[in-house]
Amino acid sequence: MTTAPGTILDPQLLRIGEVAKRTGVTTRTLRYWEEQGVLRPVEHRSSGERLYSDAEVDRITHIRELQDLLGFTLAEIRVALDTEDAIDKLRSAYRSGASPTRRRALLGDAIAANEQLLERVDDRLERVRAFRQSAAEKADRLRRRARELDAELEGRASSTRTPR
């Protein structure tokens, strides 16, 4: 089995191939995302090797959701995640005892960003619901007509079987 490079590797950390395997995202894409500023590995070793944590794995699925479910571009995702990172900053600001006013400001930013996201999600949800509705109605109409047609066919068949 291939283990860590050079110095001993923190078993918590994952190499890019392992991350790719776990998430189904190619290594190429992971590097591309880093280039686009949407996903930074926790560590870049001297050899250039990227190392990721579980947090990044979660983030990857999150990114894919933002892409697939909401149609965000990578640029939009970068912005969204940037403000989301403000929340993490907030936590560390809390631990490091930053001024409450500063913390309150960061929190405000995070809330605003989240609210904006939620709005967009709600909009999308509503539209998908409406679409689903019309599709379901169409399904009903089709099935009803199928039943009618089946009845008609049945009637014919029996009248053929028992003429007069």
Partner DNA sequence: GAAGATGTTACCGTTCACGTAAAGGGAAAT
Partner DNA sequence: ATTTCCCTTTACGTGAACGGTAACATCTTC
> Which residues are near a second copy by CB under 8 A?
65, 68-71, 87, 100-101, 103-104, 107-108, 110-111, 114-115, 117-118, 121-122, 124-125, 127-129, 131-132, 135-136, 138-139, 142-143, 145-146, 149-150, 152-153, 156
Q: Indicate whether 15 belongs to the interface with DNA (CB under 7 A).
A: yes
Tokens representing residue 160 in the block: 């053929």
Q: Say whether residue 50 binds DNA (CB under 7 A).
A: yes
**b/e string for 58-93 if b means 16 or more Cβ within 10 A?**
ebbeebeebeeeeebebeebbebbebbebeeebeeb
Angle between helix 54-68 and 16-23 (nearest 10): 50
Least separation in angstroms between CB 9 and DNA: 8
- List Cβ neighbours of 26 (8 Å cut-off, separation of 6 or more): 20
Choose which of 10, 12, 24, 36 interacts with DNA (CB under 7 A).
36
Question: Which CB, 55 or 128, lies closer to a second copy?
Answer: 128
